[in-house]
Amino acid sequence: MYNTKLKLSKDMMKQYNQKLLLRFLMKEGPLSKSDLSKRSGLTLPAVADIIEALEQYNLIKNIGETKSNRGRFPTLYAIKEDALKIIGVAITSKNIAIVFYNILGKELVHHVEELPHNTDPNYIINKITLLINGMLQTHDIDKSEILGVGVGMHGIVDYQQGIAVYPPHLHWNNVPIKEMLENALHLPVLVDNDCNALTLAESWFGQAQEENSVIVINVDYGIGAGIMIDRKIFHGIDFGAGQIGHTIVDDNGPLCTCGNYGCLEALASETAILEQVQKRMKKGFSTLLHDVKASPDLITITDIYQAMLSGDVLVTGILEEASRFVGIAVSTLVNIINPEKIILTGSLIQQIPETSYATLVNSFHQHALKTNTNQLKIVKSDLTDHAIPLGAASQWINELLLGELSLKKDERMVF
Ligand SMILES: [Zn+2]
């Protein structure tokens, strides 16, 4: 019994150190054995052993000798970027995005299409399966090269079992996405909520690489947040953490989909903004949008952003008001969590003019406790349009480099 435990702990320590060096190579590579020894605190012989193992696992490569300033020629090692690929899938209220990445998060190929009218779970899963299989074939990628498929799904997600508990825009109820996709694709699948996926993307590739506590707030058709505490995503007991969209910011506000009045989502999401613009157009408010479409019901959020760029008074006013409400809700989260950084993302944040963004930040500072904002940084995400699939794929990077997933291919899940 004693010996078994000892062996286990030795193996665990070995794996821990292997993953530690891989993380340094991931973030700062290429590096020499001496660089890795300095960064990790491991002895040079220990580093050499690990390098040998990681080369055997086909995870790193020797990229030869490079001249250093001191005239020495250390051999450098780097992650073997194409040895493993990851498939990131986003199922949002607007579209399905499938992106293939290498292990360093570099995009290889992508396919994005609008969410189909038929949102039956079997239909959607079948569609994703066909698309992925088609992309594998077209780009001549063998399934053995794929570490896994990560799904970022809107709504409440049981990430432990890979179940879409309640995605409001699809009206699904406890759909076992992981099981369905694994059976269809014969590849391992991880699933999490889209905001949690965005937070993982920021933690590996964005503006949350160094911080311990970060909140990522996504404002698009809905509004949600991903919360990272001590570098771990905080999901909540019912997987409902980060529901900032349903904090009440105006008691006299409109009815929300959740049944309450004056939720942030009912006032500041793209859906809410569209509804408010249409409502005021019908009441005869003056706006450039009257000339754009024959009826207020035909107006889209894209039309609204276009009108905003032309300085439309009605649209600008509504966006200002929405930005103020987002600032109030963010202050509530900051008062409770006291994070190091807030990262704002989503199509509304990307589209609103600097004046509205300033209104959001000012409103936030006006409502947040000063003691909780001394060290706080509030920034806009600089990740691309594919941030959700990138985050979905990052679930596998997290598992491989921080979690319990084995570095040895033959010890990982086989289908
Ligand atoms: Zn609500």
What strands lie across the sheet with 95-102, from one edge to the other? 107-114, 95-102, 85-91, 146-153, 189-193
Q: How far is the C-alpha of 22 from the C-alpha of 83, rounded, in Å? A: 14
Residue 359: is its pLDDT beyond 50?
A: yes
For residue 71, pLDDT over 90 is answered with no
- Interval between CA 329 and ligand 1 midpoint (Å): 12
Distance 301 CA to ligand 1 centre (A): 21
CA 182 – ligand 1 centroid, Å: 33
43-49: long-range contacts at Cβ-Cβ below 8 A with a sequence spacing of 24 or more?
Answer: 46/17, 47/21
240, 224 Cβ separation under 8 angstroms: no
CATH architecture of 2-79: Orthogonal Bundle (1.10)
Chain segment 208-245, per-residue pLDDT in tens: 999 999 999 999 999 999 999 999 999 999 999 999 99
Q: Are 301 and 273 in contact (CB under 8 A)?
A: yes
For 282-294, what is the mean pLDDT?
A: 92
Report pLDDT for 73: 79
Ligand 1 centroid distance, CA of 17 (Å): 45
Tell me where in the chain the CATH 1.10.10.10 domain(s) lie: 2-79
Report d(CA 38, CA 54) in Å as an integer: 18
How far apart (Å, rounded) are the C-alpha atoms in residues 316 and 288? 11
285: nearest Cα among 308, 246, 237, 317 = 317
Percent of the chain past pLDDT 90, that is, above it, reads 88
Amino acid 1: pLDDT: 45
Angstrom distance (rounded) from CA 165 to CA 362: 36
Give the rounded distance of the alpha carbon of 98 from its chain centre: 14
Contacts 24+ apart (CB under 8 A), 49-57: 50/17, 50/18, 50/21, 51/21, 51/77, 53/14, 53/18, 54/18, 54/21, 54/22, 54/407, 57/407, 57/408, 57/409
What distance in Å separates the CA atoms of residue 81 and residue 160, rounded to the nearest whole number?
A: 28
Four-residue CA torsion sign, 404, 408, 409, 415:
negative
Q: What is the reported pLDDT for 9?
A: 82
Cβ-contact 355, 61 below 8 angstroms: no
Q: State the chain's mean pLDDT as an integer.
A: 93
Is the backbone of residue 364 left (phi > 0), alpha (psi -120 to 50) or beta?
alpha
Two tokens at 312? 């439309």
162-195 pLDDT per residue, tens: 999 999 888 899 999 999 999 999 999 999 999 9
- Compute, in angstroms, the gap from residue 244 CA to the centroid of ligand 1: 9
pLDDT at 169: 84
Tokens 């009912």, residue located: 266
CA dihedral 26, 28, 32, 38 (to 10 degrees): -110
d(C-alpha 196, C-alpha 142), whole Å: 29
Pair of tokens at residue 343: 């990262």
Answer whether 196's CB lies under 8 Å from 324's CB: no
Query: 83 CA distance to ligand 1 centroid (A)?
Result: 45
Q: Locate 399 and state its tokens.
A: 């598992």
The whole-number average pLDDT for the span 319-338 is 96
**209-380, what's its fold?**
Nucleotidyltransferase; domain 5 (3.30.420)
The answer as to CATH 3.30.420.40 being correct for domain 85-201+387-411 is yes
Ligand 1 centre from 266 Cα, in Å?
A: 7
List C-alpha distances in Å: 392 to 23, 150, 278. Answer: 19, 5, 34
Q: What separation in Å is there between the alpha carbon of 252 and the centre of ligand 1?
A: 13
Share of the chain above pLDDT 70, in %: 96
Alpha carbon of 276 to ligand 1 centroid (Å): 16
Q: What is the pLDDT of residues 196-212, one digit of tens each?
A: 999 999 999 999 999 99
Q: Pinpoint the residues of the chain covered by CATH 3.30.420.40.
A: 85-201+387-411, 209-380
Q: How far apart are CA 3 and CA 89, in angstroms?
A: 43
